[in-house]
Structure 1
């Protein structure tokens, strides 16, 4: 049985439609999942929507509909976004599913059985927008003197009876775990932030609500619903069979990678491991907090009117150009900037003028001069090793370090090498004096295009597959193992067609 690999996104909070940040996280996780599938691993990839909590309840009331109606409508938009961007998830989970309620209640009961849940009265600062509790020392002063969360959200003093989790009891255990598992929180900047937070002391966590009923019922306390983060984090267990399918759970858990936004690292790197420790379950191997996608350096917000609809981007520029731009331009783990002209410039330079132009020119000459068949290289001709083992090794190293942007840089170095080889050897001119030598150049160039298409399938899957179609490569010849099986001379090829049309924009160049 092949090696399992379990990767998740954070589940999105659907109190509004998806924005570019949601698309970026889904695309990044999808790229990593696809890379591991191409490498021969048995991948399970989960994404979904986090549909409970006070924020959803309030958003639904503001529209005069039920929270369930809002969840159904908005979750549909997130599923549509996943389809649009070719997200290859194995499961789209919704926290309103009965199986998820059962899993959340099972985790709660396990923590209660461990003695880590108790009844008390909560009084403190709470942000509905962040769905988070804050100490007085964490709050900042707003422009009008009001108290705000560290994220800049309004907070309100909240007091109610409820259930608490003994988070304070896990401070030393968490610090010891971080020390023993340096890859648990990545990148390093996020790890340092979490360690500093935990060293500053942990307070017990209020984990139930009685002021509204939109959530998972607390076992034995039907007037209370779980704090939304207890329920939300449990989705990662629900998807792999907890608690009713121990065989499935044993295969997939612990997760290899949680891909999340940097603003929810605390929940995933402090609360989540503490819950799992309490319940006696293994901890995920890595929590990776990626950065934000900014609008020319400015954080997007509805109030500024600069929120970008990913569906609009896909319609305007195409799915793979947007995927490629986000994966190539944003250093994974850091903030990155979006701009329409930057998408156009990058897509035209790398996709249209780079890989697309190479493929189109080579395959067009083959169609016109070699009867539309893979050319036959001269016996004993030297293989220029375009996009060979060295490039694959560089891609593997970058992806092992969770750096898709560096993996793409390595691939496009090979695109440049292949274009230079093709231009320097000029098979269209060489054909006039030495047709056999021209066929050799065309063969090696077409073979480079094949390798490049396979190497980049995790980033631009639709376009890469159309390239491989034009090279008559079957569905079973498209993973990394197939890199070692070169094109067979004489194979008939379909008529070539452009894969990456040039985009129009301010800097179409």
Structure 2
């Protein structure tokens, strides 16, 4: 294949029965950081997000508000589209499952499965959780003190009996296990992989994939009494957006997806049902599914009943967009559960963004403005200390490629901060303010080394803090045409004599108001 290598990344499509919260923002931001990183690294990126708008839960939510489901979903879907803008997310497409292109793709996938003998009509009798839009075996349920049964998620279940089309999931257990074995990186992190393998080894039952008790969904081809099970409908969005059933063009370029990013609660749907549907239809499964953890709020589980749901828009208005983007990907190892606390947020903002990086940039560039005529200084010979710091900065891209491909965002950021901390120590040790009087040529070299490190760090911070990194790059004289990762090649260095504008603060310290 000639041209840039394609990279296709997706968020889950978000269910529209409620307004967006921090969990939605977290998944979307992680995908955005990776999409931006890959674009800057020369890839042809396709980044998809969107909304899941069918199912019994949506129908009930619309009824409760006294409006029709389409009007209801139009409103809530717009909230998710607005959130992507507020988060400065660089998605290439936003899909809604109520779009005609999606209904056509779902029905085409259904027809392929029918043609291959993978679907049959029977009756469903079993336990169903409306909240999860999921079916559960009796052995998965918990009985409360009052005798009520709940799903593993805590959702109430109800006994359901109705005619249903079934997908022959049971026959795909062995092929799925073989796929997991042949593609070790398909499910991440490792703990989730073990969980899925254990589930599949426990045996798979055929899956009910239609409902006849409500009508808000994609009609089953040839049988309008049934609509498709919402998960068969929802998962198909990933190929709808590539033009399926047309398998030329975008589908050929970008499928199979490089990464589906999901929350751990929907792991089974993406690593068992979805690859099974695709294999059964003669299509390739995605390359990787990463299930991240959940956030708590000041140590408490987040729930509407506790009134502690974190609104990402409020968070951004309080702390700033780039600060929120940085915190969410820095605070916990991606894949683990994390706790949001104001104190942790402020510590990261003030300690790392304002003090470590912001102060480094401001100090160094101010000294250049004051002592070097406002242009990049001309360096003399590099000492061992100079070379060590420059080499550490030059080595960052390779290590970041590895951490990004593993979705280890926190690890990648720590790698950048090791270099930032080393640069701060170098400033203190070299004391360029003292060299100004005793050895101005050496001062110029020290400030040049630091300005070059700042340039490299700012380039690498673009995916995480795009606005702030852009301002920092302006201050080291780097225009839009010098901001891709091609500018990180070892031989490319800051041009001596390049005019540098007077610096201004990029990461202000956060001062908590009384009572915070």
TM-score interval w.r.t. the shorter chain? over 0.9
Q: Distance in 2 between matches of 1:136 and 1:245?
A: 40
Task: Show the 5 A alignment for 1:440-455.
Answer: 440-455=445-460
Name the structure 1 match of 2:29: 27
1:68 aligns with 2:70: yes
Q: Distance in 1 between matches of 2:82 and 2:370?
A: 41
Identify the match of residue 394 of structure 1 among 393, 399, 407: 399
Q: Distance in 2 between matches of 1:16 and 1:313?
A: 18
Q: Distance in 2 between matches of 1:175 and 1:393?
A: 33
Q: Distance in 1 between matches of 2:15 and 2:176?
A: 27
Task: Show the 5 A alignment for 1:413-424.
Answer: 413-424=418-429
Name the structure 2 match of 1:194: 196
Q: Distance in 2 between matches of 1:310 and 1:394?
A: 30
Q: Distance in 2 between matches of 1:194 and 1:144?
A: 31
Task: Show the 5 A alignment for 1:59-458.
Answer: 59-379=61-381, 383-384=386-387, 385-386=389-390, 387-458=392-463
SS in 1 for 2:72: helix
Task: Show the 5 A alignment for 1:452-491.
Answer: 452-484=457-489, 485-491=492-498
SS in 2 for 1:89: coil
SS in 2 for 1:246: coil
1:57 aligns with 2:59: yes
Q: Distance in 1 between matches of 2:166 and 2:351?
A: 55
Runs of 4+ in structure 1 off by over 4 angstroms are 379-382
Cα deviation, 1:208-262, whole Å, max 9, x if unaligned, reads 1122211111111112111110110000001111112523211110001100010
Q: Distance in 2 between matches of 1:98 and 1:267?
A: 23
Which stretch shifts more, 107-116 or 377-386? 377-386
SS in 2 for 1:65: coil
Q: Distance in 2 between matches of 1:242 and 1:457?
A: 33
Aligned residues: 509
**Runs of 5+ unmatched residues, structure 1:** none
* 1:454–1:13 distance in 2 versus 1, CA, 3 Å: same
Aligned-residue offset at 1:172: 1.4
Q: Distance in 2 between matches of 1:195 and 1:130?
A: 21
Aligned-residue offset at 1:298: 2.9
Q: Distance in 2 between matches of 1:93 and 1:490?
A: 48
When normalised by structure 1's length, the TM-score is 0.97
* 1:506–1:149 distance in 2 versus 1, CA, 3 Å: farther
* 1:214–1:393 distance in 2 versus 1, CA, 3 Å: same
**Runs of 5+ unmatched residues, structure 2:** none
Which stretch shifts more, 218-227 or 310-319? 218-227
Cα deviation, 1:458-478, whole Å, max 9, x if unaligned, reads 211111111101112121211
Q: Distance in 1 between matches of 2:457 and 2:78?
A: 35
Conserved 8 A contact 2:54-2:217: yes
Conserved 8 A contact 2:358-2:506: yes
Aligned-residue offset at 1:369: 2.3
Aligned-residue offset at 1:368: 2.1
Which stretch shifts more, 111-120 or 293-302? 293-302
When normalised by structure 2's length, the TM-score is 0.96
Q: Distance in 1 between matches of 2:94 and 2:433?
A: 50
Aligned-residue offset at 1:22: 0.5
1:492 aligns with 2:499: yes
Q: Distance in 1 between matches of 2:397 and 2:250?
A: 32
Which stretch shifts more, 229-238 or 70-79? 70-79
SS in 2 for 1:258: strand
Q: Distance in 2 between matches of 1:249 and 1:243?
A: 9
Cα deviation, 1:78-106, whole Å, max 9, x if unaligned, reads 11111111111111111111101111111
Cα deviation, 1:429-487, whole Å, max 9, x if unaligned, reads 22122222212111111111000011221211111111101112121211222013211
Aligned-residue offset at 1:381: 5.7
* 1:395–1:507 distance in 2 versus 1, CA, 3 Å: farther
Conserved 8 A contact 2:50-2:95: yes
